[in-house]
Amino acid sequence: MTTVVAPAPSGWVLADPTPWDLTPVGADRPDAVCAGLRELHERTVAYFEVAGRLASSSGAAEAEVVARAISLGASTGCPVVGVIRSVAVDPGPDGIAALAAWGKVAVAAVRASGVVPILLAVTGPVHGSLTPLLGLADHLVLTRDATTYVSGPGPVKAVTGIDVDPVMLGGAAVHAGVSGLAALIAEDPDDAVDALSDLLDHLPDNNLGEPPSHRGPDPVERRCERAAAIVPGEASRAYDVREVLSDVVDADSLLEIHAEHAPALITAYARIGGRSVAVIANQPGVRAGTLDIEASVKGARHVQRADSFGLPIVTFVDTPGYQPGKDLEARGMIRHGASLVHAYAEATVPRLCVILRKAYGGAYIVMDSRTMGSDLVLAWPGAEIAVMGPAGAVEILHRGQTDPLRRAELEADYRETFCTPRLAAERGLVDGVIDPADTRRALAAAVKRLRTKRSPAVHRKHSNPPL
C-alpha cells in the first residue's frame, strides 16, 4: 500500500507504489499513519497502517485518521484491516489530546463490531493505555517479535517486586497461549498480512453479505473413511479430533485459530461443499476434551463471531463434561461456562451438531444439543449420550457394590441400556444415527439446504451475556 501525498516514516516500508492503488483517508495529516480503501487479495477493505510518531508514540492526528477509516469501512460495508507497528501515547503536553482522540477509535470500532469484520495485525511494540483497542478486533495477528501489554516491566516491578522483560510480559507466545488474544502468529509483517487475508477468506464483507464460497475439487459425496477409523471405540482412549475435522471438511480448508489457547476445545474456519463454516470441536487428546473456563469463553467468542457474520456453525462433540476443580469453581466456572450456553442459544445461523463419541451431562447440553436450538443433530453409532458416564452412574446407583467383576457388568449394562444414540433418537434429541463415513455428505447437504434460514428478531435492546 502507498500514497504519494503522505511521506512514510523512516524505516516504514509500504508496498504497491502506485497512487491509484489507494483511495486515501486523511493523507495530509502529519502523523505516521496511512489509510484508505484498497484491494487486499481482490477484496476491497478499509485499510490502515500505524507506525507511531518517532516509532514510539501516537498522536491525535493518527487517531482521527484511524477512526475515519474504521467508520468508512462500516458505512461502505468493507472489512477493516489494520497493521500496527507501534502505538503509545506521548506523555508530553499533547498527550491528553492524543489519548482523547484514540477514544474516537474505540467508539468507531464498537459501532463497526458485528457490522464488518475487524482484523488487526501487530508487528511491533504496542503498549500502555491504547492496548485495550486490540481486544475489540474480531481477530488479532501478532508477529513473533511483537509485544503488547497494558502495564510495562517498570510498573510491574514497582507494584509486585517481580522482574519481567517485555517478551515474558506480553510477547507473542503469551498472547497465543495464556491470554488467548492472538488468533494466529506470523513470522514477519508480510506473513501477518497473509494471515489476515487467510482469515478474511472465510468471512463476508459485512453482516448482510453471504459467507464466501469457493468450490474446490473435493467432491461432497466423498466418504470419510479416515475420519471413521480415527475415533477409538473405547471411551477412555484419546485421539486428535483435528484429523477427523480435516477429513470431513473440504481438503486443505481447515484454518484453526487460537490453537495454543484452551487446547481442549478446537475453534476453526473451514469449508464444506465450498461454503465457509465455523467449526467447534472437543479435543479428546487434551484433558479428555473436558470444558473449563478458558475453553468455554473461547468457544463462546467463536460462536458469537460466526453468528455476527452469518457463518453456519458445525459442532463436533466428544466430551465427558466439565473439568472439575476447586480453583475452577472459585474462578467462576458457572458464570464463564454460561457464556458458551448464551452464545449458542442466541445464535440464529444454521447450526449443525455431530456427536462423535461421548456427550455427558451439562456439557452435552452446552455443545449445541437439540434443546439448545441446533437445526440438525447427528450421532455416530458408538455415541454415548447420557447424564454421566457408566462408571459414575454405577457408583451412584450401586454404591454398595465393591466386586470389580460385578461393577464391570453393571457398567456394561448401563452403557448398553442408557448410553446409546438410539434412546436419544427415540426421544427426538438426535435427528439421525449415521454411518461415520457419511458425515461429510450429510453435513454438506444440510449446509446447502439451511442457507436460507431466517430467525425472527427478539424485540429488546440487547441481551445480557454472562461476561
pLDDT at position 446: 97
95-112 vs 60-76: helix crossing angle, rounded to 10:
10
Quick one: cell of 260? Answer: 495454543
Phi then psi for 236, rounded to 5 degrees?
Answer: -90, -5
Q: What proportion of the chain, given as a percentage, has pLDDT over 90?
A: 62
Cα separations in angstroms, 254 against 192, 202, 368, 415: 18, 10, 21, 34
pLDDT at position 97: 79
Q: What proportion of the chain, given as a percentage, has pLDDT over 70?
A: 90
Are 89 and 57 in contact by the 8 Å Cβ rule? The answer is yes
* CATH fold for domain 19-200: 2-enoyl-CoA Hydratase; Chain A, domain 1 (3.90.226)
Question: For residues 179 and 96, which has the higher predicted lDDT (pLDDT)?
Answer: 179
Question: For residues 378 and 461, which has the higher predicted lDDT (pLDDT)?
Answer: 378
Question: For residues 457 and 122, which has the higher predicted lDDT (pLDDT)?
Answer: 122
pLDDT of 317-348, one tens digit each? 999 989 889 999 999 999 999 999 999 999 99
pLDDT at position 1: 33
Q: What is the mean pLDDT of residues 270-277?
A: 97
Distance between CA atoms of residues 443 and 455, nearest Å = 21
Domain boundaries along the sequence of the chain: 19-200, 225-383+420-449
pLDDT at position 240: 97
Phi then psi for 329, rounded to 5 degrees?
Answer: -65, -40
Question: For residues 200 and 416, which has the higher predicted lDDT (pLDDT)?
Answer: 200
Burial class (CB in 10 A: 0-12, 13-18, 19+), 404: exposed
pLDDT of 37-74, one tens digit each? 999 888 999 999 987 654 445 578 888 899 999 999 99
Q: What is the mean pLDDT of residues 172-193?
A: 96
Least confident of 47-56, 132-141, 146-155, 181-190: 47-56
Are 131 and 174 in contact by the 8 Å Cβ rule? The answer is no
Band (pLDDT 50/70/90 cuts) for residue 4 is very low
pLDDT at position 58: 59
Are 207 and 242 in contact by the 8 Å Cβ rule? The answer is no
pLDDT at position 54: 47
pLDDT at position 94: 67
Q: Enumerate residues 6+ apart whose C-beta is below 8 A from 461.
A: none
pLDDT at position 5: 31
pLDDT at position 93: 65
pLDDT of 236-252, one tens digit each? 899 999 999 999 999 99
Q: Enumerate residues 6+ apart whose C-beta is below 8 A from 302.
A: 257, 267, 278, 280
Distance between CA atoms of residues 262 and 313, nearest Å = 19
Q: What is the mean pLDDT of residues 426-444?
A: 92
pLDDT at position 360: 86
Least confident of 108-112, 151-155, 173-177, 241-245: 151-155
pLDDT at position 3: 30
Distance between CA atoms of residues 257 and 176, nearest Å = 10
404-418 vs 390-397: helix crossing angle, rounded to 10:
110
Quick one: cell of 213? Answer: 464460497
Instruction: Tell me the average pLDDT of the chain.
Output: 87
Cα separations in angstroms, 35 against 3, 25, 47, 53, 61: 9, 5, 6, 15, 12
Let me know if domain 225-383+420-449 sits in CATH 3.90.226.10.
yes
Question: For residues 419 and 279, which has the higher predicted lDDT (pLDDT)?
Answer: 279
Distance between CA atoms of residues 247 and 434, nearest Å = 16
Please state, as a whole number, how many other Cβ atoms lie within 10 Å of the Cβ of residue 157. 12
pLDDT of 5-33, one tens digit each? 333 333 333 444 345 578 888 877 656 78
pLDDT at position 423: 78
pLDDT of 95-121, one tens digit each? 787 788 888 999 999 999 999 999 999
How far is residue 19 CA from its own chain's centroid? Answer: 35
Least confident of 80-94, 250-264, 298-312, 374-388: 80-94
pLDDT at position 307: 97
Task: Give yes or no for residue 280 having a pLDDT over 70.
Answer: yes
User: Which residue from 259, 343, 328 is spatially nearest to 297, judged by alpha carbons?
Assistant: 343
User: β-strand 118-122 against 139-143: which pairing, if any?
Assistant: parallel
User: Which residue from 385, 360, 381, 363 is spatially nearest to 372, judged by alpha carbons?
Assistant: 363
Question: For residues 457 and 6, which has the higher predicted lDDT (pLDDT)?
Answer: 457
pLDDT at position 53: 53
pLDDT at position 427: 76
Domains 19-200 and 225-383+420-449 share a fold: yes
C-alpha dihedral sign at 355, 345, 140, 128: negative
pLDDT at position 30: 58
Q: Global pTM?
A: 0.90
